[in-house]
């Protein structure tokens, strides 16, 4: 078989399949779970960089009517005074507002678009191992029951606990960051707001830490509410037990209750009346890897499999979308034969992936800097002041304070970067007399 085998039918895998199909590159998805598997409950924020990818794939116009549009995040103190605003999207500055939606809405739309285009998704088919890879055979791999399959390339989009990553970097395992989030949903109308025009989304910074809340739907009728805490590390069974212990989670969510202002207390009160609707999310990350592909370049990983970020980054899905879009454009430019056969040129593929890895690593490093700033903002007041002096972050601590950095993050010229590299590489090799 030719084309690209994708392992994992989450957002990264389905978006990659859609991008490849739109560029005429055959692909198929292998998913261990059965059709109709559960998607993580809650919303996802697609910032302008992610919106640009969804727009290019024709997805954004289909999901936009179900999205809450975000231009900035306001920060308030316990007296409901706005202390800071941080851009999260701007039609004027970046071309798009950020779009908040339930994760399932995005996932269902991607699946529907694949079905409309006839892209095969093999559910209940678990990836087992890579048997081998070569220029002549492509990648030979095994799925459920030891069945052998072949593809020109194999891309792991199988999440933070990726099986494909074990082939590329066996010693690379996810690390717990020391933090976990507790997430709940409440009706917006249930809260005693200080005014009818209270700004959303918002982070209230108080003595006990930060309380983050934002609408999940266009009419603002439902709020997602999040608090972030330091929790001791646990094995999987320990996290599952804590998730089941609703009383413990609510006690944690109420921590420092008397030190919050009136608005925050009203929100916490409403969270604690809905014991069935609370979710624990331990923050794990994937350690930095030298590269996200095998030596030959025929096995790759994208999204959370390559660089899982804590949810506080707000960029997990967005960086996955950047991954799949940029990778597809690059493959389309340098390996047009992927449309019909297994490419024999390993040199060109590895050179292209060296560029891709370098460029993508720079952007992930920048997201990590942004995430560190967000985590400082969410600390209890005493810790926040110890790191900032006055409670506010400067450009050294928070690159988002720099407008040029914001433009670089939220308005990347992915097409331009790819075309520029291809042209430069071709000129350099022409000068050397190389055919690759």
- Dist CA 159 CA 11 (whole Å): 10
Number of separate domains in the chain: 2
Both 251 and 358 in a single domain?
Answer: no
In a domain, 403, yes or no: yes
Per-residue pLDDT tens over the stretch 257-273: 999 999 999 999 999 99
Give the structural domain span for 239: 177-285
Both 312 and 203 in a single domain?
Answer: no
Both 207 and 332 in a single domain?
Answer: no
In a domain, 323, yes or no: yes
In a domain, 89, yes or no: no
In a domain, 74, yes or no: no
- In CATH, what number is assigned to the domain containing residue 240? 3.30.9.30
Both 229 and 120 in a single domain?
Answer: no
Both 128 and 199 in a single domain?
Answer: no
- In CATH, what number is assigned to the domain containing residue 414? 3.50.50.60
Both 138 and 167 in a single domain?
Answer: yes
In a domain, 82, yes or no: no
Both 169 and 196 in a single domain?
Answer: no
Stretches in the chain below the pLDDT threshold 70: 1, 344-345, 388-403, 427-436
In a domain, 247, yes or no: yes
Both 123 and 190 in a single domain?
Answer: no
Out of 285, 310, 337, a domain closes at 285
**What pLDDT score was predicted for residue 183?**
94
**What pLDDT score was predicted for residue 132?**
96
Both 165 and 184 in a single domain?
Answer: no
């Amino acid at each position: 078989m030719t084309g690209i085998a994708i392992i994992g039918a989450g957002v990264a895998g389905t978006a990659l399949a859609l991008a490849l199909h739109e560029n005429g590159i055959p692909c198929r998805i292998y998913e261990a779970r059965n059709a109709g598997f559960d998607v993580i409950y809650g919303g996802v924020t697609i910032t302008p960089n992610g919106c640009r990818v969804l727009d290019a794939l024709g997805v954004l116009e289909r999901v936009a009517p179900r999205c809450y549009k975000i231009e900035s995040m306001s920060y308030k103190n316990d007296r409901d005074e706005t202390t800071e605003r941080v851009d999260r999207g701007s039609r004027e500055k970046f071309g798009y507002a950020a779009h908040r939606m339930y994760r399932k809405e995005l996932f269902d739309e991607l699946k529907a678009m694949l079905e409309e285009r006839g892209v095969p998704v093999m559910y209940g088919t678990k990836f087992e191992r890579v048997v081998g890879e070569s220029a002549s055979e492509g990648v030979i791999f095994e799925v459920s029951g030891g069945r052998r399959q072949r593809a020109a390339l194999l891309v792991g989009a199988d999440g933070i606990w990726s099986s494909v990553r074990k082939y590329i970097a066996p010693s690379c395992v996810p690390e717990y960051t020391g933090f976990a989030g507790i997430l709940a949903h409440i009706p917006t109308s249930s809260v005693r707001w200080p005014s009818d025009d209270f700004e959303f989304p918002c982070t209230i910074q108080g003595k006990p830490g930060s309380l983050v809340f934002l609408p999940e739907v266009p009419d603002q009728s439902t709020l997602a509410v999040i608090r972030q805490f330091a929790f001791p590390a646990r094995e999987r069974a320990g996290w599952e037990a804590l998730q089941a212990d609703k009383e413990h989670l609510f006690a944690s969510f109420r921590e420092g209750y008397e030190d919050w202002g009136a608005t925050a207390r009203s929100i916490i009160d409403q969270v604690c009346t809905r014991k069935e609707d609370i979710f624990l999310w331990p923050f794990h990350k994937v350690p930095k890897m030298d590269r996200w592909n095998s030596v030959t370049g025929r096995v790759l990983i994208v999204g959370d499999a390559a660089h899982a970020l804590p949810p506080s980054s707000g960029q997990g899905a967005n960086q996955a979308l950047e991954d799949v879009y940029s990778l597809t454009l690059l493959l389309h430019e340098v390996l047009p034969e992927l449309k019909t056969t297994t490419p024999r040129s390993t040199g060109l593929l590895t050179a292209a992936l060296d560029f891709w890895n370098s460029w993508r690593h720079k952007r992930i490093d920048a997201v990590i800097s942004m995430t560190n700033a967000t985590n400082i903002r969410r600390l209890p007041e005493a810790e926040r002041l110890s790191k900032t002096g006055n409670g506010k972050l400067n450009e050294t601590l928070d690159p988002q304070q720099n407008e040029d950095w914001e433009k670089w993050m939220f308005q990347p010229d992915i097409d331009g970067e790819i075309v520029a590299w291809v042209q430069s590489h071709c000129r350099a090799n022409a000068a050397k007399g190389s055919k690759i």
